[in-house]
Structure 1
Amino acid sequence: MGDRGRAVGAARRGGLGARAGAVRDRVARATDRVPAPWRFAVTVFLGTKIALTLVGVLALAAFDQLSLAPPTDGWTMRDQQRAVSPHRWVSLWFAWDSFLYDKLAQVPLDRPWQDFGFPLLYPFLGRALAPLLGGHTALALLLVANAAFLLLLYYAHRLGEQLLGVPGSRRFVGYLVLLPTAFLFQAALTESLFLCLTLAAFHYAERRRWLVVGVLGFFLALSRSVGFFVVVPLALVLLRQHDYRLGRHALWGYVRTGCPLLLVPAGWLAFMAFCRWQGGDWFAYQHAQQRGWGVTVQNPLGVLWHGLTKGSLPDALRVAAAVLAMVVVVAGLRRIGLPYVVYGLIMVLVPLSMGPPVYRSLLRYLLAAFPVALVLAGWARSPRAERWLAGGLAVLQGALFVAWLAYWSHFII
């Protein structure tokens, strides 16, 4: 009986092993059918999501043990986070502007609006999704941001393939998620949506699908005010594809091919029309920015110089980061090309033109300058350089993420 029992057990284990192997084979075949860019994007998305969530929850628990009190205005934000969700792994992704977006997602459209100092694509997407989540607009906004983050990773990989090849594209995605404030891609803010639309627009521009570029550009202009200016580097991609030729025949070709780019400024004009409809003022957005934050258009170089020479130490550090971003982008001109250098400079200089109030959010705005990651991906091709650069960026992002979690978020947003 003993031998028979052992034989039966062995046969049973063999059967279980065979079934487990068959399941693994089916999973492997199903995975192989998923395109490689999507597999890579999902892997990076899940990896960063799990890592940052664990760090966030553990850090907040440690802060509780230390009885670490947030700054005075941090108490207000803490109460707002608790109102969103009692679960910290959810609520930690909401800060300041997140609650303003949530408010915009809830305001009924059948009554006049007073102040809306933000373009409305992001809150309107949250408004559309909220009914599926029981009317919870804040969670809808967080879901929109994270879905955009996943798409951002996919389009970053595809654009990187076109500009740097497959190995370079993976490095590009890696450095994109290692940029100092890249954890904001997972927050209930506009960073992931804006950059997702931007990378998709450049991807399709490189593939000469200009109608798709125009449609994406329309929504890009509705996502953030700086989106209107992306039409300039997109037009440079078109010019580069025709070797920057000029002349009557060349100009006609540009007009015929690139006319969908007119949809980019049309997106911003649509937002201005909404301002006029709701508030009776075409420039209600600009006036709300002036009243709420003291934002006025200024010389960005003068603002930069003021931050370096007359601002506080935190202001000087943030402006120095902006200078470093511009230096990196310009130094990579031969590697990434003129359109991407111009885009990178726009993403730094346009926020600076908003005046000194931008200092507080400058590290957040610099996240849109994805050509920095493109240049780094081209530079760090040796394993040793890649390890040092990736490690340094990870430590820096970790320090800023801890500052975010400790409610010193005004250094970032």
Structure 2
Amino acid sequence: MAFLIRVLIYFASVLIYLVQSDFLSHAAAFSWNDFFNLWNKSDAQHYLDLAEKGYVNCTEVTEWSGREEHLFLVFFPLYPWFIRFFHFFVNSYAVAAFAVSIISFCVGCVFFYGAVKEEYGASIAEKSLTLLLLYPFSFFFGGIMTESLFFCLISAGFFYIRRHKWLIVGLIGLLASLCRIQGVILLGVGIVEFLISSQLIRMIQEGQFKGFLKYFFTEAVWLFLIPIGNLVYLGLNYQITGNAFQFTVYQKNHWYHTTTWFTNCVAEIMRYISGQVSDTTLLIWYPELILFVVAAALLLYSLRTQPLKYSAYLLVYTLINYSVTFLISGGRYMLNAIPLFFFTAALLNKHKLLYQLLCFASALLYGICFTAFLTGGAIY
């Protein structure tokens, strides 16, 4: 089903292209390059270049330094490495990239559904997956970006955390933290679940320190594989530039992202909204503000009603995303704040009409955002 949905979205992208151009004259001449160009937006080309050339050979001369810089160190390596691997089987980096995204999306949907079903039951799992697929920015799952791969790893991480398979969680988390910096959050999620589900607290209270140490170092210790992915990424920065944190320099000087308090980020978004109305205001700043408010409201709702591990993930993930200046991709980033979807499904599970209205509104906004993305709108 996930694969068929992906095919339908690709078909819709072609249809939108043909409709907004001269349908009859372009339909017969439509080619693979036309399809690729529809999806080759935002950071897509950077990932393809990294897969083909490697980090060392991807440089640009910058105005702020006057010399060639390895600007694309800001992109974590797992996705381009996977593209490079798939390129052994297909003679195109673009096709390899689409393959990685499609397979990751399909596998991620299976793990997402499985994790939610085991925690909440089939009804909420179905609603959660529907809300995820109708999320206005979920078309990014089909793009040449990290969204699908990260979604797959986080969903698989949640699935195996639920089953207390700590070694598997550690290995999946290592890959997740090689994919995006937020992957390290699985360490906290795993520790929360481990402490709640295990007898560690009782062992400590009863003075069973030997039993505590044995249990910890044979089970929980595997969770500490997760930060290794981030360390590999820092090592990559150091190997190429001599500075393990060089990516922060590039983020600040080239992409205008600096770390700040989330309150400053929200205040900046509100300043943009108070200015002149434009497609950027409607497609970037309003959605980001609404998403922040929704995430905050669902967090308050979840404190007494939902498993702590998911609330912890949503809290930390949201704060990380909203702790930078000039946040222009917040809608895309929040795609992987996946507790948003099953918290919403749980909240609306007994309110059929509200759930249907939300699905309708989401589908409408999806169509608007998807069309804007394909036609050069301010969607990043």
Instruction: Say yes or no: TM over 0.5.
Output: yes
**SS of structure 2 residue aligned to 1:212:** helix
For residue 148 of structure 1, report the CA deviation from its aligned partner.
Answer: 0.3
Question: In structure 2, do the counterparts of structure 1 residues 290 and 164 end up closer, same or farther at CA, with 3 Å as the change threshold?
Answer: same
The one-letter code matched in structure 1 to 2:48 is D
Correspondence 1:322 to 2:282 = no
2:90 maps to which of 124, 133, 152: 133
For residue 64 of structure 1, report the CA deviation from its aligned partner.
Answer: 1.2
Q: Is contact 1:330-1:341 (8 Å) kept?
A: no
State the aligned residue count. 348
Output aligned runs, 1:8-407, within 5 Å.
43-46=1-4, 48-65=5-22, 85-88=32-35, 90-108=36-54, 114-115=70-71, 116-134=73-91, 136-242=92-198, 245=201, 247=204, 249=208, 252=213, 253-309=215-271, 311=273, 312=275, 314=281, 315-355=285-325, 357-358=326-327, 360-382=328-350, 383-407=352-376
For residue 229 of structure 1, report the CA deviation from its aligned partner.
Answer: 2.9
Q: Is contact 1:121-1:222 (8 Å) kept?
A: yes
2:63 aligned partner: none
1:76 aligned partner: none
Greater CA drift, 226-235 or 266-275: 226-235
**TM-score of the two chains, using structure 2 as the length reference:** 0.84
Greater CA drift, 373-382 or 195-204: 373-382
Q: Is contact 1:204-1:213 (8 Å) kept?
A: yes
Q: Is contact 1:335-1:378 (8 Å) kept?
A: no
Q: Which has a greater percent of helix?
A: 1
Please give the alpha-carbon distance, in whole angstroms, between the structure 1 residues aligned to 2:175 and 2:169: 10
Please give the alpha-carbon distance, in whole angstroms, between the structure 1 residues aligned to 2:174 and 2:310: 20
The one-letter code matched in structure 2 to 1:104 is L
Q: Is contact 1:226-1:350 (8 Å) kept?
A: yes
For residue 206 of structure 1, report the CA deviation from its aligned partner.
Answer: 0.9
Please give the alpha-carbon distance, in whole angstroms, between the structure 1 residues aligned to 2:347 and 2:201: 30
Please give the alpha-carbon distance, in whole angstroms, between the structure 2 residues aligned to 1:391 and 1:349: 29
For residue 93 of structure 1, report the CA deviation from its aligned partner.
Answer: 2.4
The one-letter code matched in structure 1 to 2:47 is Y
Query: Deviations for 1:143-189, whole angstroms, at most 9, x for unmatched residues?
Result: 10111000110001110111111222222211111112111111111
Question: In structure 2, do the counterparts of structure 1 residues 61 and 105 end up closer, same or farther at CA, with 3 Å as the change threshold?
Answer: same
For residue 279 of structure 1, report the CA deviation from its aligned partner.
Answer: 2.2
For residue 256 of structure 1, report the CA deviation from its aligned partner.
Answer: 3.9
Unaligned runs of 5+ in 2: 24-29, 60-69
**SS of structure 2 residue aligned to 1:332:** helix
1:72 aligned partner: none
Please give the alpha-carbon distance, in whole angstroms, between the structure 1 residues aligned to 2:236 and 2:341: 35
The one-letter code matched in structure 2 to 1:194 is F
For residue 348 of structure 1, report the CA deviation from its aligned partner.
Answer: 1.5
For residue 62 of structure 1, report the CA deviation from its aligned partner.
Answer: 2.0
Question: In structure 2, do the counterparts of structure 1 residues 151 and 338 end up closer, same or farther at CA, with 3 Å as the change threshold?
Answer: same
**TM-score of the two chains, using structure 1 as the length reference:** 0.78
Unaligned runs of 5+ in 1: 1-42, 67-81
For residue 309 of structure 1, report the CA deviation from its aligned partner.
Answer: 4.2
Question: In structure 2, do the counterparts of structure 1 residues 309 and 291 end up closer, same or farther at CA, with 3 Å as the change threshold?
Answer: closer
For residue 110 of structure 1, report the CA deviation from its aligned partner.
Answer: 7.5
For residue 109 of structure 1, report the CA deviation from its aligned partner.
Answer: 6.8
Please give the alpha-carbon distance, in whole angstroms, between the structure 2 residues aligned to 1:166 and 1:111: 48
Provide the alpha-carbon RMSD of the alignment: 2.4
